[in-house]
Amino acid sequence: MTTDRNQRHKSAMQRRKALVDEKIAQANEERGIVIVLTGNGKGKSSSGFGSVIRCLGHGYKAGIVQFIKGTWDCGERNFIEQRCPEVPYHVMGSGFTWETQDRERDIAAAEQAWEQAEKLLQDDSLHLVLLDELTYVLKYGWIEQQRIFDAIQQRPADMSVIVTGRAASKALREIADTVAEVGDEKHAFRAGIKARRGIDW
């Protein structure tokens, strides 16, 4: 009985390995990619920062621009600024738009942050550029979409770019190679649990 089950498992695994090996053999293009992490669930920015750590762990260089939440105490920012000072890290400085209620100020802040992003997107020493919460810049129209897409698409061939944020547009999804929609099945906040330091920010 057990031998039977073991034998079935072995055959199934052999079939699966053959399929995976075939797919690996087919994926023979080498280039940097554009990843969009969107959706209403939790885990987009933390995944982006996880990929930055992955890069650094292999000895590659990465750069980061955060397009919102400039005024927040943020664990990943503290860590990278203190422990990885060589990683370029720029934060859009004017806080949440619903706090400032000043579109001109938002546009000026976005312009400054985007100029930093453009520099990173031209820097061929970088393996990865994380554009955290960039979807809001597009959604609010603070920077012209074509300008953003040009900089992303004209990046060095080996560079990958991760864009995070809710409500990624169809156009942004189209220029991406990988798109992940993080679903919001449950969030502790809705059960009245306060956002936790080190977990939520």
The footprint of Mg ion (CB under 5 A) covers 44-45
Q: Are strands 61-66 and 89-91 parallel, antiparallel or unpaired?
A: parallel
Using CB atoms within 10 Å of the CB of residue 169, give its burial: 0 to 12 exposed, 13 to 18 middle, 19+ buried.
middle
**193 is a site residue for ligand ATP (CB under 6 A):** no
Structure-token pair, residue 74? 């943020």
* CA 98/CA 94 separation, integer angstroms: 11
* Count of residues that bind ligand ATP according to CB under 6 A: 16
Residue 195 sits in the site that holds ligand ATP (CB under 6 A):
yes
Assess 153 for contact with ligand ATP (CB under 6 A): no
Q: What is the total residue count of the chain?
A: 201
200 makes contact with ligand ATP (CB under 6 A): yes
**Residue 95 binds which entry of Mg ion, ligand ATP, none, with Cβ cut-offs from 5 to 8 Å by kind?**
none
Candidates 15, 17, 184, 193: give the one binding ligand ATP (CB under 6 A). 184
Q: Does 72 bind ligand ATP (CB under 6 A)?
A: no
Q: What part of residues 30-49 is at the interface with ligand ATP (CB under 6 A)? A: 40-46
Stretch that binds ligand ATP, among 22-30, 95-103, 113-121, 184-192 (CB under 6 A): 184-192
- Least distance CB 11 / ligand ATP (angstroms): 40
162 three-class SS: strand
Q: Which regions of 3-118 does DSSP assign to beta strands (E)?
A: 34-38, 61-66, 89-91
Give which of Mg ion, ligand ATP, none residue 158 binds (C-beta under 5 to 8 Å, depending on kind).
none
Euclidean distance between CA atoms 170 and 118, whole angstroms: 22
Subset of residues 162 to 181 that bind ligand ATP, contact rule: CB under 6 A: 164, 166
**CA quadruple 55, 59, 60, 61: dihedral sign:** positive
Residue 44 or 90 having the CB closest to ligand ATP:
44
CB 113: neighbour CB atoms within 10 A?
Answer: 25
Nearest partner of 65 among 102, 7, 123, 112, judged by Cα: 112
Contacting positions for ligand ATP (CB under 6 A):
40-46, 164, 166, 182, 184, 187, 189, 195, 200-201
